[in-house]
Structure 1
Amino acid sequence: MSASESATTPPGSGPPASPGLRRGWVLALAVVSGFMLMLDVTAVNVALPSLRDDLDGSFTDMQWVIDSYTLTLAVFLLTAGSLADRLGRKRVFLVGFLLFTLASLLCGLAWDMTSLNVARAFQGIGGAVLFAVGPILIGQEYHGLERGKALGIFAGGSGMGIALGPMIGGAITDSTSWRWIFLVNVPLGIAAVLLGNRYAREWRDTRARSIDWLGLVVFSAALAMLVFAILRGESDGWGSARIIGLFAGSVILLAVFARIEAVRKDRAMLDLSLFRVRSFNGLATVSLLLTAAAMGAIFLMLAYMQNELGHSAWDTGLRSMPLYVAMLITGGVAGVLTARTSPRHLMVCAGVGVSAGLLLMAPFLEGDSDWTALIIPMTVLGLGFGFYNPTRAAMAISVVEPRKTGMSNGMSETFQQVGMVLGIAVMGAVYEARVSEHFGQSAVAERLGESAHDLGELVAVGQAGTVFESLPGGTAAAASEAASAAVASGLGDVMAVGGIAAAVGTLAAIVLIRRRDMYESTPEDLALFEDQRATPAPDSSLAS
């Protein structure tokens, strides 16, 4: 690939700083932002019971604490990336960090569930900006082998946020208050904004004629309907009128969005020619399927250790360390290899590892298994998924010319985020159905009669303990044993489904991803990122 960058503004910077110091701070800011984002996904889950009691929330309120953040995070990734290319990546990143910080403050000061959930929605918008633009800032500062290493570090920071979230959330909730899960972001965010303003360099594309407001609104509405349908599909029923209507509306709006972008051409927020690049389609497919399989599996494994094995959030975090240590190891390896080998090879390694780790789960799990049965599958899964994250970021940056990397990374991360939501929702639904079915087929189910079905559903969500206590002694023991066996079998079944999805993603990587689609930066491209003063950013009020 090649492109002329003659119409692109060179970046500027704040007061002069040595290149090594500047790049180090930019990488640190991106890593901290990724860590904070993932921390706020997993740490809040642990605090939900305390939060519910403090703010007198309902079950629906609790769902929205998670969904409002997840929804806006997914919806605004492409928007954030496209706006960063147009308005300036440094500017958009700092505004996003400021929004995330202010929203965190409002979450910590929330006086009722409505105020909390509104603040969480704005926190998700800020998070989308950080997630979409952070890797692009790294791509500006690092090139070749150094870029791969830096992206590996960035991926490791996000992984540690997932790993440590339950532990940190549990420790904060137990020692102080759930509010500090959010308030701790405030001093970190303020420091990050000040440091980013000092060290990050500005860059924008002056070819972009205006902001595509119509496309922005239509795409955001379409994706919001899609993600909300996935989030509510299990509770409302996948065949319910509301869910079908949301899916149908999303498809219609996406078709409208494609037509708008085709008409607007160079003014569009999404360059549809991106989907004519074979490797980008491969990246999108792999991002969707591998993230769905891996994140759905991680969610269920953590729930299994807490609900079935009875470990605390802190102990669960410690016991999941083999997964995250493995991710850190192969993430570093992948970071080094992204500049030396084809991304196809790295994505195949990722897919094979994720698929093998999930398919290994069933042979190791039995009704009386303890957490050690998960060590080998977790480690293999972590080794595979560690290859994915830095490779995805490197591909998203390299598959287009530099002036479009914000758009490309935003679109790639949209597929990734939708994959995460889809994996957790679908694999969770399959898990509950299979556990309920296995329990219904057990010998004790005949003794329980018609109540066996309802009890099986309680077993699937980890809430059957109190019911078992009310059963006669012999029946209670048999029911508890059958429940453990059903949970192990159901978990093995759903991991096999995830393993198959990951295998399909691996095939997509083999068929679609190729090294010759990667854009090779020219000396002129690299000169764009020399330490120069920025030209004025465009007027954000430009009409569409």
Structure 2
Amino acid sequence: MSSPDSNKAWLLAAVCLAALGMPLSFTGPAVVLPAIRETLGGTPVQLNWITNAFMLSFGATLMAAGALADAYGRKRVFLLGLAVVALSSALLTLAPGIVAFDLARAVQGLGSAAAFAAGTAALAQVFDGPARLRAFSLIGTSFGVGLSCGSILSGWLADTVGWHAVMLSPGAVSLVALCLAAPRMRESRNPQAMGLDVPGTLSFTAALSLLTLGVLQAPDSGWGSPWVLAALAGALAMGVAFVAIERRVAHPMLDLSLFRFPRFVGVQLLAAAPAYGFVVLLVLLPIRFIGLEGRSALEAGAFMFALSGPILVLPTLAASLAHRFSAGAISAAGLLVCAAGLLWLGRCAPGTSLVGLAGPLLLIGTGIGLPWGLMDGLAVSVVPRERAGMASGIFNTVRVAGEGAALALVSAGLTALVAVRLGQSPASAQAAQRVTTGDMAQALALLPGMDRAALLHAYGVAFGTLLWVLAGVTVLTAWVVFAFLRGGTPVQADQAAQVDDVRQESPAC
């Protein structure tokens, strides 16, 4: 019979593997998008859903998954989530068309949310004090490894085996985690769990879904299209309904009263900053490098490692700096560095070598790495201790849902900018949609009078303009975050105690 300490170690390994697999589910499809398009076809809108379906289902159900884990068993939900990820990964390789592929991606997001929420909640029950902090630090490190190495691993798999192997990799990791956890993990529940806030969950999911649908459809149908306007109006209505529901139910999914704390609002803005300053590039850049510039998947992965590699190192430095400087100052400085990198990258034309791109990519990754190492601790340290669990759940939901919304908005913005450069005509609008999903051949077919060099130049100018806009938003966010968080004191031992408390209260941290 294995010892309790041994079971803890195996459980930690299983949850770390689950955390490692989640960024693979996000970064991998971006690297092999051109190959998926060649195999399954699809319109630009359908291809955009490959990433957005996963992000939407993951972000919209994260807090609901935590509530289900507390009520029905953390082990049960964790193992079920891992099994769903593994099954959906296999279904992705068998999908007969792009619509079935997108639906499988949404199911994969649901499984990832269940595994993440239940796995972290289960760990909080078996680790105490400093050991709990070290355990959750390892989870963060595992996620960082997956994020940093996911693109280069996906590139290697795509070049040596094919895109199907990239889709199977998160499922393979999940299966290993399931085999480690199933015989050793003990079941646990929260006797005081209030169950799932069904009206809140449904209205929140509907609002995010309609917003994403409207934004992704706008480049194809036009922002004035009745379908687009109806989707955006429905998103607004569902958002209003969600707020009304959460203000009235006894046990809300989201405690809106927390937004009365200015520092809490500042943390939510900080959570959204990496979405448009960093995360969107994890999708847009592989499309540019592979689909438009014709680089290999492995070469594109090396480029992306320059962008995401600093995430492995900088959070540790940020934690050290937090003993001397306020979180607001560190976060704002990091965002300004990121903005400088975005401006620099905007001046790099398509075809720039790795040597030429390494500087701006490293600068962006370095800038985001500084606040990245502080955000989780800040999420629970800026509210009263007894409300830290809910604050952590809100923070994670804002972070993941914000990434999905930012990706949809930025993709639509890039398509509009490319269309402006190509000229206002139906053919130009269709070509813009094709080129922003990496389909250079089809875009050129729609523009018989334009050669590849001219189309790449138009795309490069539009991409540069987009990065200038994102840099401006990042600078504004840096100023607001500093204004909200500058009064914070350096990290103290009592903050570690707050983090310890929230791990016990919240399944979604």
TM-score w.r.t. structure 1 length? Answer: 0.77
Aligned to 1:274: 258
Inter-partner Cα distance in structure 2 for 1:311 and 1:321: 15
Q: Once the two structures are superposed, what CA deviation does each residue of 1:364-402 show, in whole Å capped at 9, x if it has no partner?
A: 424774343221111110011112333222233444577
Contact 1:151-1:394 at 8 Å conserved across structures:
no
Residue type of the alignment partner of 1:499? A
Inter-partner Cα distance in structure 2 for 1:288 and 1:451: 35
Inter-partner Cα distance in structure 1 for 2:355 and 2:82: 39
CA RMSD of aligned residues (A): 4.2
User: Is 1:242 matched up with 2:214?
Assistant: no
Inter-partner Cα distance in structure 1 for 2:38 and 2:358: 35
Residue type of the alignment partner of 1:66? T
1:246 deviates by: 1.9
For the residue of structure 1 that corresponds to 2:4, the secondary structure is coil
Change (3 A) 1:137 1:340: farther
Moved more, 400-409 or 321-330: 400-409
Q: Once the two structures are superposed, what CA deviation does each residue of 1:239-269 show, in whole Å capped at 9, x if it has no partner?
A: 322222222222222222222222223x222
Aligned to 2:507: none
Aligned to 2:353: 370
Aligned to 2:237: 252
Aligned to 1:396: 379
User: Is 1:512 matched up with 2:484?
Assistant: yes
Contact 1:277-1:517 at 8 Å conserved across structures:
no
Q: Of residues 109, 128, 133 in structure 2, which corresponds to 1:124? A: 109
Q: Of residues 497, 504, 522 in structure 1, which corresponds to 2:469? A: 497
Contact 1:29-1:196 at 8 Å conserved across structures:
yes
Moved more, 516-525 or 374-383: 516-525
1:46 deviates by: 3.9
1:490 deviates by: 2.4
Q: Of residues 387, 410, 414 in structure 2, which corresponds to 1:427? A: 410
Q: Equivalences for 1:208-357 in 2 at 5 Å?
A: 208-265=193-250, 267-336=251-320, 342-357=326-341
For the residue of structure 2 that corresponds to 1:211, the secondary structure is coil
Change (3 A) 1:83 1:63: same
Residue type of the alignment partner of 1:489? V
Inter-partner Cα distance in structure 2 for 1:133 and 1:356: 38
Residue type of the alignment partner of 1:299? V
Contact 1:396-1:408 at 8 Å conserved across structures:
yes
For the residue of structure 2 that corresponds to 1:320, the secondary structure is helix
User: Is 1:17 matched up with 2:7?
Assistant: no
Residue type of the alignment partner of 1:347? S
Q: Of residues 396, 401, 416 in structure 2, which corresponds to 1:413? A: 396
Inter-partner Cα distance in structure 2 for 1:480 and 1:525: 53
User: Is 1:93 matched up with 2:78?
Assistant: yes
Change (3 A) 1:332 1:197: farther
Unaligned runs of 5+ in 1: 1-13, 442-448, 531-544
User: Is 1:161 matched up with 2:146?
Assistant: yes
Change (3 A) 1:23 1:471: closer
Inter-partner Cα distance in structure 2 for 1:282 and 1:415: 12
Contact 2:155-2:300 at 8 Å conserved across structures:
no
Q: Once the two structures are superposed, what CA deviation does each residue of 1:98-121 show, in whole Å capped at 9, x if it has no partner?
A: 332233333344455555443322
Contact 1:145-1:336 at 8 Å conserved across structures:
no
For the residue of structure 2 that corresponds to 1:310, the secondary structure is coil
Contact 2:334-2:367 at 8 Å conserved across structures:
yes
- Rg larger in structure: 1
Inter-partner Cα distance in structure 1 for 2:199 and 2:217: 27
Aligned to 1:37: 22
Aligned to 1:188: 173
Inter-partner Cα distance in structure 2 for 1:139 and 1:239: 49
User: Is 1:487 matched up with 2:472?
Assistant: no
Inter-partner Cα distance in structure 2 for 1:92 and 1:137: 10
Aligned to 2:88: 103
Contact 2:56-2:401 at 8 Å conserved across structures:
no
Change (3 A) 1:404 1:139: farther
Change (3 A) 1:200 1:470: closer
Inter-partner Cα distance in structure 1 for 2:185 and 2:320: 24
Change (3 A) 1:61 1:224: closer
Aligned to 2:362: 379
1:409 deviates by: 3.2
For the residue of structure 2 that corresponds to 1:360, the secondary structure is helix
Moved more, 199-208 or 99-108: 199-208
Contact 1:15-1:198 at 8 Å conserved across structures:
no
